[in-house]
């Protein structure tokens, strides 16, 4: 299936009209800053559709995300800074530059080699001063840690095997326990961060996305906790008035039932 560009041009034209003199008051008032939170929301809605397998909804969610790109480009065009064509030129040139094995004569045979070449291209051609530059501070902390570690690994700052990674977690856990026992809150917070960072590093070696793993864990906890609540509601009992041992027994029963049915 070929793409003629007519539909994309239609979107650009619609956005220009919405921002025009006789357009929509809300659209006209928007700025890059006011729109930034909407872009983040649209990204999360795309992710949610994928996570929940709602692929029939995905075209609409991707369309909402694309609208954010066109919207920002129109704001910039209104201020005579850049246009949507500049946005497209930038990404086209970047994709070609970062894939020299496809659009040039370089030889890259594995995904790992491509990751290393991708990061090296940023350092050589895009003005990056550090391998870890370009990771947004606004990313969720687990995702940012994963990206930082991956960028460092791409330039060789990484273990070759997983065994030292397990050892690092044990080391950081011991330091966290020592900090907690000392009663120093700031030190405890620092050491807890080191433990989480080390666990994220383990996720890289296990080839598991930590953000997705934690989201799954949150969903599992929510599902099981609601079943526990329902059980005590059916009994006519209030959880807050029961000993933890009784709550744990029902929790264990819910887990066992899930595992049996799964």
Domain ranges of the chain: 6-97, 212-261
Sequential pLDDT tens for the chain (262 residues): 455 688 999 999 999 999 999 999 999 999 999 998 899 899 989 999 998 899 999 999 999 999 999 999 999 999 999 999 999 999 999 899 888 888 888 888 888 778 777 777 766 666 677 888 888 888 889 989 999 999 898 888 999 999 999 999 999 999 999 999 999 999 999 999 999 999 999 999 999 999 889 989 999 999 999 999 999 999 999 999 999 999 999 999 999 999 888 6
239, 229 Cβ separation under 8 angstroms: yes
6-97: CATH class = mainly alpha
Query: Is the pTM above the cut of 0.85?
Result: no
């Amino acid at each position: 299936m070929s793409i003629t560009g007519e539909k994309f041009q239609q979107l650009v034209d619609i956005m220009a009209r919405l921002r025009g003199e006789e357009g929509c008051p809300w659209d006209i008032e928007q700025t890059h800053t006011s729109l930034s939170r909407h872009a983040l929301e649209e990204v999360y809605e795309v992710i949610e559709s994928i996570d929940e397998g709602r692929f029939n909804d995905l075209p609409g969610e991707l369309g909402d995300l694309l609208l954010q790109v066109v919207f920002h480009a129109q704001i910039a065009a209104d201020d005579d800074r850049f246009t949507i064509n500049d946005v497209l030129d930038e990404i086209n040139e970047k994709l070609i530059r970062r894939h020299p094995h496809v659009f040039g004569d370089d030889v890259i045979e594995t995904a790992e080699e491509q990751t290393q070449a991708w990061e090296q291209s940023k350092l050589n051609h895009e003005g990056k001063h550090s391998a870890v530059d370009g990771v947004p501070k606004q990313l969720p902390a687990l995702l940012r840690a994963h990206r930082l570690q991956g960028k460092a690994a791409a330039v060789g700052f990484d273990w070759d095997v997983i065994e030292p990674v397990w050892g690092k977690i044990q080391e950081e856990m011991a330091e966290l326990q020592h900090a907690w026992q000392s009663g120093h809150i700031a030190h405890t917070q620092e050491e807890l961060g080191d433990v989480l960072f080390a666990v994220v590093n383990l996720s890289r070696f296990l080839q598991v996305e930590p953000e997705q793993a934690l989201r799954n864990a949150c969903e599992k906890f929510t599902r099981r906790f609601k079943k526990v609540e329902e059980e005590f509601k059916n009994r006519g009992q209030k959880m807050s008035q029961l000993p933890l041992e009784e709550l744990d027994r029902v929790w264990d029963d819910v887990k066992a039932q899930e595992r049996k049915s799964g």
